[in-house]
Each structure stands twice: as structure tokens, then as C-alpha cells.
Structure 1
């Protein structure tokens, strides 16, 4: 599933149809993945839309779910970088992330605490936990996707879980 060929984008005639099918089949899971990385549903939806827009009109090549996930991961990283730059420019002005009433109603208090703690983790730790526990990828799969050693993935997961446990005080 993780590395299987989802579709082979043919030349111009059927490419749009295949891309629309991929979008319909995987969009929601990819948006959820991006939400966990970004902590913002609107930005996550934009990232996924941008990834699929970027795939439109590309030359024929096999598209895998892993490839699309890497694109979403990289696009999410770009958004986080831009946010970091904007935050440094706006020194002294603190913007709080406010969930909509609908989102707040849907999420339970403990889930909100977990998501907040997850968002406070360093980027790499957050990414590894999301890839491991949300996408259920193996350490080897995560290492390949992030282009790091498997031992780096294991130690990063360990440190991230340790930090979450400290922050949540055994609530998890």
C-alpha cells in the first residue's frame, strides 16, 4: 500500500481523469495528514490542493501514494518555514491560533491537549510521530521518506514520545 503504484499518468487525454480519481480517493487522508503537521485545516487543504495542482500536466510517470505523501510533507514544511519567517518579522505581536466553534465542539478536551502538545514538538519529532502513528508507516518507511537513517527515526520517536509524556503529565 505505501509504495504501490496508484496510477500511471498517461498523456494528455486521460491524465485529468486519473488525477481527479486520485484526488477523490486520497484527498481527505492527505488533508488529515497535513492538519497534524500544520495544526490548521485551511492551510492543510491549501497544501493538498497545491500538490495536486502541481501534478496536473506533468509528463507521464508512475505516481505512488508515497510520492504524493512526500509532496504533502514538503509543502507543509514550506508553509511552516513561511510562518516562522512571518513570526520573526512580527516580533512583539503574538498571534494566537483560535479554533472555530465547530472544530472546538468536535474535538474533546484530551484530544485538543494532545494536538496542542504535538504542535509544540520540534518539526522533525512531530513529522515522525505523524508518519508513524497516523499513517502507520514502519521505521524503515519513515527513514526512506524523510531520507534519514532508521536509527534516527527510532531515536526521534523515542524522544518525541518522552517529551509528550512529560508535557501531558501521564494523561496520554
Structure 2
């Protein structure tokens, strides 16, 4: 059973944590789900940006993305498993596919919800960017605190040694 493009795009949006508007695919006419051109037709009818075809092994930050194999149909690639396997989501089930010459990966630019694009102030853009990447900032704060504690301890020890050694040397 082949997974159709509409379900795969809905899964892709869920994995990217993008909420599609209700009835987002109602205006789309029939497309050929089995062919690799079906995604381009589907996306063009929605008015979304065209997809980028990747012909190389993708990096971890590029996942999730759409994947098409002539024999298997459409699915959503979640990550690489080893050097030549793709962990994919198809019809709600997870499978492993071999990444070969016939497998094509597509990076589809999904539209964000209309309310998420509007920022009242420039600082809101900065806050949104920081909110998406909290991990590195937390690590930087912890590292800064740790280095400052080590520096404080070292300086207190140095002052104590200075107070005891220097007066005796004079």
C-alpha cells in the first residue's frame, strides 16, 4: 500500500512542529501519487515554494524530509541509520529503507501558521530565534558560571598567598 503525498506532507508538518491550517489540501486536484513528479504538482497547486531535490547523503539537521522510491512510493525520512539506511515514516509505521541511486530526497518548504510570522517588535524576532535554540544557550550559561567560579577560587587563593608571602619577603 503506497502512502499518498497528502498524508506524507501532513506527517512532515507534524514532525517539524508546524501546524497546517484546516482544509489546507482541499484545493488540490488529483495528482499522480506514484510518480516523483506528483510532489511538484501537489506543491504547485497549494502555492507553496517548490521543493529542493537532494542527490547526496543529507546532514542530520536537514531531516525530516520527503523521500520517494519508484518501487516503494512516498514516505517521510526521519533520520539516517548508519551510512546507507533511512529511517522513514510511512502510513504511521516506521521502516528502514536503503539509500540507493533511485531514492530521491525532497526538502519541502512548508508554510508556517499565519500568526507565527508576525512580530510586533524587532526584539520579538530575536526572542523567537533564541527560543528555538535553548540548548546551546543553556550550555553557554553553565560554562560561563563554571569558569567564573574557578577564576574566583583561583584569585582568592592567589590573594591569600600574596598576603602571607610578600610581607615576609620585605
TM-score range, shorter chain: under 0.3
The TM-score, its normalising length taken from structure 1, stands at 0.24
> Which one has a bigger Cα radius of gyration?
2
Does 1 or 2 have the higher relative contact order (CA < 8 Å, sep 6+)?
A: 1
The TM-score, its normalising length taken from structure 2, stands at 0.24
- Of Structure 1 and Structure 2, the greater helix share is in 1
